[in-house]
Structure 1
């Protein structure tokens, strides 16, 4: 399947694939929607997002997500679960936590920041 490219941001790519696993259309669409929302929430849109599903040795599924937000910044999340959507949701939570912490770090680092001392 071709990477999704929005009309607004032609450089943003989202790739959902499977490593020796067939990723169904429903799971692919769910993953693309969630990854687009994550990108828009934290930085307008990511440069490149890759999501790979695989089988674990325990009979479950693994999911690895890598978000490239530019300037050499990469955010990775991996998770395992009995079902592929569960593995995706856990990995997405890991990446979202990293993005949230990075955004907070950048916001609090500014010299003039009204939320730094708890004013707002």
Structure 2
């Protein structure tokens, strides 16, 4: 898949694939839309995002999302459910939580932090 340009002109490569699973256009479109929003929200974009759908041994679907946001920062999330979109949403929420925590950690680490000091 080709690299996609986000609104702020930073290149972000998003790959949605299936491991022995055919990913339909609707699911692929939903995943791309959500992953683009996630990339734009945290750190102003991500270098690349990989989303892989697979079948589980229980007859359901598994979803693995890996976000590389630069400087050796990798965030992983997994979800498993009988429905592929639900598995995707679980994995996306796990990655979003990691990104939120990392962003908060960076923001609170500064010597002068208007948010933490209550200046704003």
The answer to whether TM tops 0.5 is yes
Measured after TM superposition, the shift of residue 115 of structure 1 is: 1.8
Q: Tell me the equivalent position of 1:27.
A: 27
What per-residue deviation string (whole Å, max 9, x for no partner) do you get for residues 9-39 of structure 1? 23x1000000000000000010000000001
- In structure 1, C-alpha distance between the alignment counterparts of 2:5 and 2:20, rounded to whole Å: 28
Secondary structure in 2 matching 1:66: strand
Deviating runs (4+, > 6 A) in structure 1? none
Secondary structure in 1 matching 2:41: helix
Measured after TM superposition, the shift of residue 92 of structure 1 is: 0.1
Q: Tell me the equivalent position of 1:9.
A: 10
The alignment's TM-score, normalised by the length of structure 2, stands at 0.94
Q: CA RMSD in A?
A: 1.2
For these two proteins, the number of residue pairs brought into alignment is 118
Measured after TM superposition, the shift of residue 43 of structure 1 is: 1.4
Q: Which blocks of at least 5 consecutive residues in structure 2 are unaligned? A: none
The alignment's TM-score, normalised by the length of structure 1, stands at 0.94
- In structure 2, C-alpha distance between the alignment counterparts of 1:112 and 1:71, rounded to whole Å: 24
Q: Which blocks of at least 5 consecutive residues in structure 1 are unaligned? A: none
- In structure 1, C-alpha distance between the alignment counterparts of 2:48 and 2:3, rounded to whole Å: 10
Q: Tell me the equivalent position of 1:52.
A: 52
